[in-house]
């Protein structure tokens, strides 16, 4: 394996055009919360452009940007009113062209988010449906059915919304009065599900893909990729017990619909076999381009076997692997998720992906924190988060980072109720839907209230006063800061050890420790101590510590041999 010459320019992802996605580190930007150029309290595309140097310097290969389309923002932009235009609060098409050009100039790819399961109720198609009626072309673009009961006053079936409550709402007549017909919305009432039985829907989305690919977008993350096709006949579902719609949140008695359910039969609207036909069509569109454009599916599926089906050679390039995110701080669960994921992806020749945080789940510093006296111990949470990240960055495949995790940001769990915007918060009567806590804007520099997010101090969600010490400016150049740990790990992963692809071999490790070797990547050994006490590593692993998330010291063991001792809740990379 070649090592980069010191001082040589890093190998750019753009120089590896066809397969860059196989081992890419992708940075997720939630655009409303990243950087605000005009001071209105909402991040925007010019703000993101202004921070591209920061991302290039961090060492990521690509940026995935959550939706910035025209939207009434009832679900943070995952309610799209026009798939070909930009929300004026976030920028313009010219800004997106500029973003693509400027990212490419820095060697980074740009991945957009596409939302094909549902549109916004403000989309012209749904607006047309509101003035049309049964049997119309406009109705056939959505999932609209006659209700049950004598007066059709009951929904067509018992499906629930992921955001709590019924999965159906009544279609109004021209005067706004309820009719006997209902439209399906697996999410908010303002997100009617599209009807993927209708060829016009297929054609429209192929056209939307081309619209953006022609502008130079390198790929798409596909929202709710496992949900587009519903079982024929829309049968009732034997709903599992109340649980959380999204991981990291407590369930409640109003029973949202989980995004998937591993203990029960498949829900009749998730992970249906027919969904794969859509991705074959989309892959053909992506392959019309040179270099081919790529997809990453948001696929909440019950197990790694079902996940691998999405990555068959003529379907999606990659998909999110949420089993790893859900493994928590648990050696057994982490190891079995890694094994099953790698093994199943190998059957289809696809690289696995790994992710610890995103805009839907509790930030991993908080999620992995032990609970002490009823509260998350955020100091230990930070050690664990850093260790989990370093351990994950050694895995083969592609990795997704969520904005702010490189600063060690924690979940903001105490947002005032009136500030919350997650639709699930409102639909659950304030008992669930706390996704705003991971969407608080990023601290860049300086003092409260907005820490350099903009110049005006405005912020669509309030930022904690304690974030002063977690800003980019505060952490830059500081030895041992979380930001510098990410920078170093990404550089070594790409330039020095080429950890991206290749096999992984587990090593026999002391109790409570996970360790694997990457034989094709300079034999790097990646170690994670999940226990809270220091651990002596076997002498055979050597003492050449490439980097660590915390303390690692060389000592002499009883036989006078040099060994490494690592602290509790720490990960290290050793050159084997
Ligand atoms: C996905 C998105 C989430 C959104 C939902 C509905 O899970 O990640 O933020 O609320 O889909 O579009």
563's enclosing H/E stretch is strand 562-566
Q: Would you call 488 exposed, middle or buried from its count of C-beta atoms within 10 A (0-12, 13-18, 19+)?
A: middle
Q: What is the pLDDT of residue 13?
A: 52
Terminal-to-terminal C-alpha distance of the chain: 13
455: annotated active-site residue: no
For residue 75, which atom of ligand 1 is closest to its CA?
Answer: 10
Which member of 288, 314, 505, 532 is catalytic?
A: 288
Residue nearest to atom 7 of ligand 1 (CA): 224
Rg of the chain on CA atoms, in Å? 24
**Residues in Cβ contact with 290 at an 8 Å cutoff, skipping those fewer than 6 apart:** none
> What is the architecture of the domain spanning 124-184?
Alpha-Beta Complex (3.90)
d(CA 478, CA 473): 10
For residue 79, which atom of ligand 1 is closest to its CA?
Answer: 12
The per-residue pLDDT for range 454-471, each reduced to its tens digit, is: 999 999 999 999 999 999
The per-residue pLDDT for range 487-538, each reduced to its tens digit, is: 999 999 998 878 988 999 999 999 999 999 999 988 999 999 999 999 999 9
Whether the pLDDT of residue 248 is over 50: the answer is no
Identify which of 67, 71, 74, 223 to mutate to test ligand 1's pocket (most ligand atoms within 8 A of the CB).
Answer: 223
Distance of CA 497 to the CA centre of its chain: 26
DSSP-derived letter for residue 13 is G
Identify which of 360, 435, 439 to mutate to test ligand 1's pocket (most ligand atoms within 8 A of the CB).
Answer: 360
**Residues in Cβ contact with 399 at an 8 Å cutoff, skipping those fewer than 6 apart:** 24, 25, 26, 353, 354, 355, 392, 393
* Rounded (5°) CA angle 336-337-341: 115
Residue nearest to atom 3 of ligand 1 (CA): 360
Which member of 223, 422, 432, 495 is catalytic?
A: 223
* CATH class assigned to 504-575: mainly beta
Identify which of 75, 119, 361 to mutate to test ligand 1's pocket (most ligand atoms within 8 A of the CB).
Answer: 75
Q: What is the pLDDT of residue 302?
A: 86
**Alpha carbon of 44 to ligand 1 centroid (Å):** 20
340's enclosing H/E stretch is helix 331-348
For residue 423, which atom of ligand 1 is closest to its CA?
Answer: 10
On whether the CB atoms of residues 328 and 368 are closer than 8 A, the answer is: yes
Give whole-number Cα distances, 124 to 130, 176, 270, 356, 397, in Å: 10, 17, 26, 36, 40
**Alpha carbon of 371 to ligand 1 centroid (Å):** 28
Average pLDDT over every residue of 31-43 = 98
Tokens linked to 124: 């012209």
Q: What is the CATH number of domain 11-119+198-489?
A: 3.20.20.80
**Alpha carbon of 193 to ligand 1 centroid (Å):** 13
Average pLDDT over every residue of 541-546 = 95
**Alpha carbon of 446 to ligand 1 centroid (Å):** 32
The per-residue pLDDT for range 76-129, each reduced to its tens digit, is: 999 999 999 999 999 999 999 999 999 999 999 999 999 999 999 999 999 999
For residue 435, which atom of ligand 1 is closest to its CA?
Answer: 9
What is the average pLDDT score of the chain? 93
d(CA 394, CA 519): 12
d(CA 450, CA 453): 5
DSSP-derived letter for residue 538 is P
Residue nearest to atom 12 of ligand 1 (CA): 78
Does 11-119+198-489 match 504-575 in CATH topology?
no
Tokens linked to 546: 């490439």
Residue boundaries of the structural domains of the chain: 11-119+198-489, 124-184, 504-575
Average pLDDT over every residue of 21-49 = 98
Lowest mean pLDDT among 152-156, 306-310, 528-532, 556-560: 556-560
Tokens linked to 46: 């010019």
288: annotated active-site residue: yes
**Alpha carbon of 98 to ligand 1 centroid (Å):** 27
* Rounded (5°) CA angle 436-437-440: 80
Residue nearest to atom 9 of ligand 1 (CA): 360
**Alpha carbon of 529 to ligand 1 centroid (Å):** 34
Distance of CA 470 to the CA centre of its chain: 22
Cβ neighbour number for residue 461 with a 10 Å cutoff = 19
Residue 372, φ and ψ in degrees, nearest 5? -120, 130
Q: How confident is the model at residue 486 (pLDDT cuts 50, 70, 90)?
A: very high
- Residues near ligand 1 (Cβ within 6 A): 75, 78, 115, 187, 223-224, 298, 359-360
Whether the pLDDT of residue 131 is over 60: the answer is yes
Tokens linked to 192: 């009617």
């Amino acid at each position: 394996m070649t090592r980069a010459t010191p001082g040589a320019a890093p190998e750019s992802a753009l120089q590896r055009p066809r397969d860059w996605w196989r081992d890419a580190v992708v940075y997720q930007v939630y655009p409303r919360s990243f950087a605000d150029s005009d001071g209105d309290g909402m991040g925007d595309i010019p703000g993101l452009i202004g921070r591209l140097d920061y991302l290039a310097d961090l060492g990521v290969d690509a940026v995935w940007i959550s939706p910035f389309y025209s939207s009434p923002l009832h679900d943070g932009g995952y309610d799209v009113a026009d798939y070909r235009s930009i929300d004026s609060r976030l920028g313009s098409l010219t800004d997106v062209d500029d973003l693509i050009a400027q990212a490419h100039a820095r060697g980074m790819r740009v991945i957009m988010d596409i939302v094909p399961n549902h549109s916004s109720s403000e989309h012209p198609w749904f607006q047309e449906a509101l003035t049309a009626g049964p049997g119309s072309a406009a109705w056939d673009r959505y999932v609209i059915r006659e209700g049950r009961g004598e007066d059709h006053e009951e929904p067509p079936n018992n499906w629930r919304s992921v955001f709590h409550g019924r999965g159906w709402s009544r279609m109004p007549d021209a005067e706004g009065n309820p009719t006997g017909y209902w439209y399906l919305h697996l999410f908010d009432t303002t997100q009617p599900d599209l009807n993927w039985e209708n060829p016009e829907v297929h054609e429209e989305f192929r056209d939307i893909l081309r619209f953006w690919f022609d502008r130079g977008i390198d790929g798409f993350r596909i929202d709710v990729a496992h949900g587009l096709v519903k079982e024929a006949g829309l049968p009732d579902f034997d709903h599992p017990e109340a649980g959380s719609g999204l991981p990291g949140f407590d369930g409640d008695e109003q029973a949202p619909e989980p995004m998937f359910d591993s203990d029960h039969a498949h829900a009749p609207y998730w992970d249906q076999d027919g969904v794969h036909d859509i991705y074959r069509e989309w892959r053909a569109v992506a392959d019309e381009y040179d270099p081919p454009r790529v997809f990453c599916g948001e696929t909440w599926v019950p197990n790694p076997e079902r996940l691998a089906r999405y990555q068959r050679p003529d379907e999606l390039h990659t998909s999110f692997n949420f089993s790893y995110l859900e493994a928590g701080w648990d050696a057994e669960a982490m190891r079995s998720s890694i094994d099953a994921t790698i093994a199943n992806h190998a059957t289809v020749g696809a690289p696995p992906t790994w992710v610890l945080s995103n805009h839907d789940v509790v930030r991993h510093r908080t999620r992995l924190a032990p609970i002490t006296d009823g509260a998350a111990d955020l100091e230990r949470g930070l050690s664990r988060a850093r260790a989990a990240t370093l351990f994950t960055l050694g895995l083969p495949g592609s990795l997704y980072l969520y904005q702010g995790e490189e600063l060690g940001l924690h979940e903001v769990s105490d947002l005032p109720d009136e500030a919350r915007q997650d639709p699930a918060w409102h639909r659950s009567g304030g008992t669930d839907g706390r996704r705003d806590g991971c969407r608080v804007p990023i601290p860049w520099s300086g003092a409260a209230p907005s820490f350099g997010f903009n110049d005006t101090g405005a912020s669509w969600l309030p930022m904690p006063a304690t974030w002063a010490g977690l800003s980019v400016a505060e952490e830059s150049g500081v030895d041992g800061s979380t930001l510098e740990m990410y920078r170093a790990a990404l550089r070594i992963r790409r330039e020095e050890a080429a950890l991206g692809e290749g096999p992984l071999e587990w090593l026999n490790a002391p109790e409570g420790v996970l360790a694997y070797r990457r034989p094709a990547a300079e034999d790097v050994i990646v170690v994670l101590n999940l226990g809270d006490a220091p651990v002596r590593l076997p002498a055979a692993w050597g003492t050449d510590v490439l980097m660590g998330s915390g303390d690692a010291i060389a000592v002499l063991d009883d036989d006078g041999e040099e060994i490494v001792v690592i602290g509790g809740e720490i990960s290290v990379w050793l050159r084997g």
